[in-house]
Chain A
Amino acid sequence: MWSLFHKLGSPRPFYEISDRLLPILGCLTVIFLSVGTIWALGFAPPDYQQGESVRIMYVHVPSAIVAQSSYMIMAIAGAVFLIWRIKIADIALQCAAPIGASLTLLALATGAIWGKPTWGAWWVWDARLTSTLILFFLFIGVIVLRSAKEGSEAVGRATATLAVVGLVNLPVIKFSVDWWFTLHQSSSFSLTEKPSMPVEMWLPLVVMVAGFYLFFFYVWIFSVRTEILKREYRSQWVRFIHDV
């Protein structure tokens, strides 16, 4: 087990292992997302109050969930980089940030589109919306700091520190915002309780959430591979693999 981690920590084995993994991941992403989308848009029942607009949930909820997870993943990559100085963790952090930011933006946009017919406003200063917006700003901070100096290790470590500080702060921000104002309904899902939705509605949602996770990992690993090539293009093995 440990040797696998050690292997994945250095660029070349990671590149080679992910080369085999990526097509499988891509196929699974396509399958899950298309099954989920068709099921959610075509067959899931409309809500008795919200009508057809409830279908936006099948994009909104997964993107919000995966956006939050991707901050978590990014910050863990940052911690790994700070503690063990594994180069690939820096690359992983750098690549996770834009994906996370895009998913956060998607969650905000779909939320606004859904909010207009349901709450009567595009934007409400509600706790969950606001903390998602703050999450977006945290992602922006990481992206901006990381791009201040391309490829510099010191900036990578500074960014990792920022990501970890942000992770420590996130619960406090979430708490204070929750306490500030709440209009949003409570979580759609929790691990411990039975969902309040009927099975025909939450099953496609689960498929969509899984699809979004797969999508995140696919794009993430893909961009990590690209970044490895960008940073290591001078090394022997890259020339060997790509025959240049």
Chain B
Amino acid sequence: MLETIRRDLLLHFRKPADILNPLAFFVLIISLFPFGVGPSASILSEISAGVIWVAALLTTLFSIDMMFKSDYEDGTLEQIVLGKESLLLVVYGKVFAQWLVGGLMITLMSPLFGMMFYVNNDGIFATALALMLATPTMTLLGSIGAALTLGLNKGGVLISILVLPLYLPVLILGVAMIDSAIVGDDYVGHVFWLAAILVVSTGFAPLATELGIRISLSE
């Protein structure tokens, strides 16, 4: 598993565009909103949580498409399946590596956008915390979609249709958490819910991903 993480990270860093393009996409989506709704501080801080979350979701989907694609196309994935290491652990490794260059980066960038959207400090902290708990869930669920659509050449759009409905719980909980943090309410309950969803999806999503990879390779 560690070997998979190392290998995937190395691959990502050799091709920095793969990491930077999604992040640039994230920055662009968020920066477009003030132009769309006007620069008023009250409106921007009210919609900040939703904007950052929707941008994070879209960015995750944008990059998840490539998660298994190149390994599938050059036959590496098939070798991994035939190889000694359990496919499940490889899936965990790949998801973790993907999250490190995607979700974690988004989380680290979020305070910047909090400030640009006039969110107060509690809100900024809650945004980062919520993203920290929810972006791994997004990557995990996205990996199911990526695995199921591997053999089909219209992957990108298809993944969005398959996976976006599944993202709804984390979206609702995450945005509610940030909103209650901004107005100064207690949000421990939301943190626990997001953490619970993360634990459950860490346990089960890779099983579906593994099954999906096997199915796609059987074609």
Q: Which residues of A contact B (CB under 8 A)?
A: 82, 134, 137-138, 140-141, 144-145, 148-149, 152, 154-155, 157-158, 161-162, 164-166, 168-169, 172-173, 175-177, 179-180
Contacts and interface: CB of A to CB of B under 8 A. Distances in A.
Contacts of B77: none
Nearest to B219: A154
Interface of B: 144, 148-149, 151-152, 154, 158, 161-162, 164-166, 168-169, 172-173, 176, 197, 204, 208, 211-212, 215-216, 218-219
B5 to A, nearest CB: 25
B154 to A, nearest CB: 7
Contacts, number: 75
Contacts of B215: 154, 157-158, 161
A154 B147 CA distance: 12
Given A144-B158, A144-B161, A155 B152 contact: yes
Contact of A161 (B158, B204, B211, B219): B211
Contact of B151 (A140, A154, A180): A154
Given A154-B151, A161-B211, A176 B162 contact: no
A173 B211 contact: no
- The majority secondary structure among interface residues of chain A is helix
A161 B152 contact: no
Contacts of A164: 208
B154 A137 contact: no
A154 B172 CA distance: 34
Given A148-B154, A157-B218, A161-B144, 19 more contacts: A140-B161, A141-B165, A145-B148, A145-B158, A154-B216, A155-B151, A155-B219, A158-B148, A158-B149, A158-B215, A161-B215, A162-B144, A165-B144, A165-B166, A166-B166, A173-B165, A173-B169, A177-B168, A179-B172
Contact of A165 (B169, B176, B208, B219): B208
14 contacts: A134-B165, A141-B165, A144-B161, A145-B158, A148-B149, A149-B151, A154-B215, A158-B212, A161-B215, A165-B166, A166-B165, A173-B165, A173-B168, A175-B169
A162 B165 contact: no
Contacts of B165: 134, 137-138, 141, 166, 169, 173
A232 to B, nearest CB: 21
A145 B149 contact: yes
Nearest to B171: A176
